[in-house]
Amino acid sequence: MSSAARLYGGTDMSEGALERDMVSDMTSLSGGWMEGSSASYDRRLAIDTEQLRAFLEETQPEAAAAFELGNRQSDIRTQFLDRVHRYVTTYGVVDLLRKGMSHSTSTGSFEVFFYGATPSPGNTIAEHRHRANRWSVTRQLHYSQDNSQLALDLALFVNGLPLTTFELKNHQTKQTVEDAVEQYKNSRDAREPLFADGRCLAHFALDEHSVRFCTRLAGDKSWFLPFDKGWEGGAGNPPNPDGYRTAYLWQDILSPTSLSDIIEHYAARLVEKDPKTKKTKRRQIFPRYHQLDSVRALLKDSAANGAGQRYLIQHSAGSGKSNSIAWLALQLVGLGGDDSSVFDAVIVVTDRINLDTQIERTVKSFTQVRSTVKHADKSKDLRQALADGTKIIISTVQKFPVILEDIGHTHRDRRFAVIIDEAHSGQGGKTTHAMSSALGAADDAAEEEETTEDKINKIIESQKLLGNASYYAFTATPKPKTLGYFGRTGADGQKHPFHVYTMKQAIEEGFILDVLKTYQTVDSYYRLVKSVEDDPEFDAKKAAKTLRRYVEGDRAAIQAKASIIVDHLLDHVIRPRKIGGKARTMLVADGVDRTLDYHSAIEERLKQLGSPYRAVVAFAGEHQHGGKNVTEASINGFPSSAIEETFREDPYRILVCADKFQTGYDEPLLHTMYVDKPLSGVRAVQTLSRLNRARPDKRDVAVLDFYNKPEGIQKSFEKWYRTTTLADEIDPNKLHDLRVFLDGTGVYGQEDIDVFVRMFLAKEDRAHLEAFLDQLVLAYRELDSEDQQVEFKGTAKAFVRTYDYLAGILPYRNPEWLKLSILLTFLIPKLPAPIEEDLSRGILETVDLDSYRAEQQTAISISLGDEDAALTVASPTGTGRRAEPEMKPASVIADDFNRAFGNIPWTDKDRILRLIAVEIPAKVREDKQYLNAQKYNDEQNARVEGAAAVQRAILEFVTSDTELFRQFASNPSFNRWLNETVFRQTYDPSAGEEGNPGGPPSSTNDDDSAA
């Protein structure tokens, strides 16, 4: 009892009270637990021998008698218990609970646990056996072989075998869940049998507010993960009007029914083999709260509503989607029982090449049936898998529509669950149609008797979700159309995900790392000079982008940035021994050519410094570089398939890539990312999230960005920081508007639509269709102007794109929309684009790069707003229009380009007013080089020479004003402020009116390029 309770006679608010309340809840009539005794616990074997004896005597009396469990002096009893102990030590408690074991003194195998928390209806034997399980909770368990005084707060057992342990803490005594974690790390010896790897399912640290758990105790390297529900989009647990915030743990999650389900369907002991050493290691898996909650919710809804549903699961990157998908796939297969299964097969669609292996490994830990999982890379693989009764089929996003179309007339009477890994808008529309038609279309014989109208109606139905398939779409970053396809309409009228585990919660819980916490930009400054006598005109916007790409890809610029990257790698990653000296880094470049240039420059820089470390390059296909054709393998010296594995080994420390590995790459050793390409929206989140994977010795991550502004990155992340909803939908009337315009152009008529669709659905020769379309192309060419052609083609694309989206979600049919969409889908690729002159062509021949420097800015932490994000679907514009170029002289373009990137922040205060206001400006005004810069260059170039003039002037005051010199030399802020102040006093904008203006220094961050 707490001192306050003793003093005042009030409520006991101690840690012991929490322990008593937990046990009281669990051992109540509704709790399902019995209270165990520490006296019956064998510390050497880590078994409650009395509970095991009682279970076997009730359920398998012959085995219990053979093992002589009632005789504590029996050698047979000792041999049997030792056998159980050795089995758990070798294979883990999960394996023993699932499989049981055999013992030489018995007539056969025996069970130590009976499944059946949710037995098939009418299966009374399974119900009776399951009720025979003995669920016991023991307080103050004395577990140590060496110190009889050491005791755990709580331990849970089933039939005498330990399942979980607990350390409880109490805010009232100024201790929290973190103290419980530290107690496990520092005071609970992993060499004790109870804490050995695999002996328990999990070890829980908790207080009245929060829960954490660990599956493998390893001293200070023990990795405790959060097990909270989440609150207000972030970490923690919501207030509980009926008691403790953490009561859900023992009242719900660890109830006998729930825990039995976890043992049967979630907990796993995975065996992993090192491909090089051939050594195996075992890894204990226990679901996190959001994983368990989401899978159970999906199964419950699927069982209640059957096939034909859509589900969107918005789970943060790095939140364990692979295991969630594996658990869901395995249980969807068995949903409803053998005689009334909800689904005949589950198809997992993924673009992650390693996911199939993870799913297969997880599933095999639950079952030994080899036909359970099959990879279907080709249509014949899928056909064979279905014919063989394979229950879980894994395919890729790229191949899946083709596979389904190939088998589309065979399985209309079967029910499918389609799980989509990293769903995006491209997996709606035509892909959804391909899935649906393949899984639900009629056979060829029936089709032969159908009219064109019948076929049109069938296509319309297939574009919607058919009754024989449900879709489960997992993504961390749902786009508006993804929400439109798979989201569910809430009370507010918006589309919502079915289940959410937010980026905010994952970061606050420490399950993933905040990739924006240390974000450092590198600004580049250039001086471009016009290199021709003439002053030709170009499209300003296109020319600006061309100039920037030219400057950033210049050999000098690449070398300068490569030096910064290598220095940062050595000074801030390798020497500080990030992630225990195992940290890796990644450079994301803009295109394959620049990737190859960067790799060469980084390798060269590392060799110059005598560094033993190397870079790995990643790109697809074969490219020319340095006058020869190269591939990943020819540069790296090992196969492409070995990149991920080899990158984890020394001497490799930096992976240089463009698009490959930019998304979907899961490597917890990644610590720092160097970015030199525009990132925005979902691409920014997916790319930078490569860094967020957590591991016990990974405490921070960093981003060094040569291209993007922090504001743009912040805006991108805020869309998916909390729950993402779809605020509004596209108005279907937009399709009417688009069609009115298209019909009015005269390119086609209603008869053309009907004839083409009839030919297409009748599968006439392609030559006939091509000839028909060519007649419409002639009509397109006869439009009055190129602008009308641009307008028609843009509107046609908008119609097809919008119909493709709306077809999957509209509750009603519109055959005329579908028929026009079919015609336009095949007509659009044949419409020639109007010849559009590139009005920026030739700009690079008019300028030279005179100078380049890169300057690292102070690292900042980008904070995100604490609000849910409501997205909108971009409404179709209706018409396509060609942008009018903005023509300007080359000299002004260079000026605009450099001014957009060249502003340096001058922030310090005026400390020596007289010198700055009078004497230093006087010296600078007489500086000949500065005068020439004003006369022959523009303002920004004059700034560069003006700064040099200030430095020359300062040197003349080095003896008379030491303080001024010291500040100028050692304080960058003061240095910049002084240069700016003097420049304002001395610059004459009219001095260069007759000169040859060049280009100013320029910073590298603009909104257009970032978009």
Query: What is the average per-residue pLDDT within 87-107?
Result: 83
Cβ–Cβ < 8 Å for 727, 700: no
pLDDT at 947 over 80: yes
Cα four-point dihedral sign 602, 608, 611, 614: positive
In a domain, 856, yes or no: no
34-43, 727-736, 940-949, 954-963: the lowest-pLDDT one: 954-963
Cβ atoms of 319 and 512 closer than 8 Å: yes
Higher pLDDT, residue 366 or 797: 797
Least confident of 263-267, 361-365, 572-576, 927-931: 361-365
Same domain for 152 and 255, yes or no, is: yes
Residues facing residue 371 across a β-bridge: none
Residue 397 shares a structural domain with residue 296:
yes
Query: Which stretches of 712-868 are assigned E, i.e. beta strand?
Result: 724-728, 847-856
Both 480 and 343 in a single domain? yes
Q: Are residues 804 and 911 in the same domain?
A: no
Which of 782, 802, 830 terminates a domain? The answer is: 830
pLDDT interval class at 638 (50, 70, 90): very high
**In this model, does residue 774 exceed pLDDT 90?**
yes
CATH code of the domain in which 667 resides: 3.40.50
pLDDT band with cut points at 50, 70 and 90 for residue 979: confident
Q: Please, are residues 167 and 152 in contact by the beta-carbon 8 Å criterion?
A: yes
Cα distance between residue 20 and residue 258, in whole Å: 22
Q: Which of 240, 268, 296 is the last residue of a domain?
A: 268
Identify the CA nearest to 319 among candidates 574, 18, 666.
666
407 inside domain: yes
Least confident segment among 28-37, 130-139, 361-370, 605-614:
361-370
- Per-residue pLDDT of 951-971, as tens digits, reads 888 777 665 555 566 656 665
Distance CA 476, CA 322 (A): 13
Long-range contacts of 375-378 (CB under 8 A, 24+ apart): 376/403, 378/403
Phi, psi angle pair for 835, to nearest 5°: -65, 115
β-bridge partners, 312: 473
Residue 870 lies in a domain: no
The verdict on residue 549 lying in a domain is: yes
Residue 74 above 60 pLDDT?
Answer: yes
CATH classification of the domain holding 400: 3.40.50.300
Question: Could you give the CA distance from residue 315 to residue 979 in angstroms, rounded to a whole number?
Answer: 50
Residues 383, 448, single domain; the answer is yes
* 528 plus 426 within the same structural domain: no
> Parallel, antiparallel, or unpaired for β 869-872 and 724-728?
parallel
Q: What is the pLDDT of residues 831-850, one digit of tens each?
A: 887 655 555 455 455 455 55
Mean pLDDT lowest among 56-60, 365-369, 632-636, 838-842: 838-842
Q: Among 268, 298, 314, which residue terminates a domain?
A: 268
Residue 354's pLDDT band (cuts 50, 70, 90):
low
DSSP 363-404: HHTT---GGGEEE--SHHHHHHHHHTT-SEEEEETTTHHHHH
| Calpha distance 705→518 (Å, rounded) | 11
- Chain centroid to Cα 451, Å, comes to 46
930 and 981 belong to one structural domain: yes
Q: Are residues 672 and 755 in the same domain?
A: no
Is residue 338 domain-shared with residue 465, that is, in the same domain?
yes
Query: What range does the domain containing 817 cover?
Result: 730-830
CA angle 782, 783, 786 (to 5 degrees): 110
What SS3 class is residue 876?
A: coil
- The verdict on whether omega for the bond into residue 651 sits within 30 degrees of 0, i.e. cis, is yes
Cβ–Cβ under 8 Å, residues 748 and 823: yes
Exposure string over 315-328, b if 16+ CB within 10 A, otherwise e? bbbbbbbbbbbbbb
Residue 71 lies in a domain: yes
| Assigned token pair, 518 | 């240390």
What's the rounded Cα separation, in Å, for the pair 815 and 812?
10
Q: What is the pLDDT at residue 301?
A: 96
Lowest mean pLDDT among 209-213, 414-418, 745-749: 414-418
pLDDT averaged over every residue in the chain: 79
The per-residue pLDDT for 427 is 46
| Tens digits of residue pLDDT in 438-483 | 444 333 333 334 555 555 555 555 555 566 788 898 988 888 888 8
pLDDT at 91 over 50: yes
Q: What φ, ψ does residue 608 adopt, rounded to 5°?
A: -60, -40
| DSSP conformation letters of 6-67 | HHH-----SHHHHHHHHHHHHTSTTT--EE--GGGEETTTTEEHHHHHHHHHHH-HHHHHHH
Q: Looking at residue 1008, what is its pLDDT?
A: 28
In 582-709, where does DSSP find H-type helix?
592-608, 632-636, 643-647, 681-688
Of 1000 and 955, which is predicted with more confidence?
A: 955
The single-letter code of the amino acid at 342 is: V
Contacts of 810 (CB under 8 A, 6+ apart): 464, 732
Instruction: Give the pTM.
Output: 0.76
- Range among 127-141, 202-216, 386-400, 752-766 with highest mean pLDDT value: 202-216
Residue 685 within a domain = no
Same domain, 821 and 940: no
Do residues 445 and 549 both lie within one domain?
no
One-letter amino acid at 376 equals A
| Average of per-residue pLDDT across 797-814 | 76
Secondary structure of 89-142 in HEC code, one letter for each residue:
HHHCHHHHHHHCEECCCCCCEECCCCCCCCCCCCCHHHHHHHHCCCEEEEEEEE
> Based on the structure, what is the number of domains in the chain?
5
**Percent of the chain topping pLDDT 70:** 72
pLDDT of residue 224: 95
Q: Are residues 102 and 131 in the same domain?
A: yes
The reply to whether 722 falls in a domain is no
pLDDT at 852: 56
User: So what's the pLDDT on residue 137?
Assistant: 97
**Confidence bin at 1001 (pLDDT 50/70/90):** very low
Rounded Cα–Cα distance for residues 56 and 65 (Å): 9
Q: In which band, very low, low, confident or very high, does the pLDDT at 896 lie, cut at 50, 70 and 90?
A: very low
Contact assessment for residue 456 and residue 757, using Cβ atoms and an 8 Å cutoff: yes
Domain assignment present for residue 952? The answer is: yes
> What confidence score (pLDDT) does residue 246 get?
96
Q: Which residue has the tokens 């917890």?
A: 668
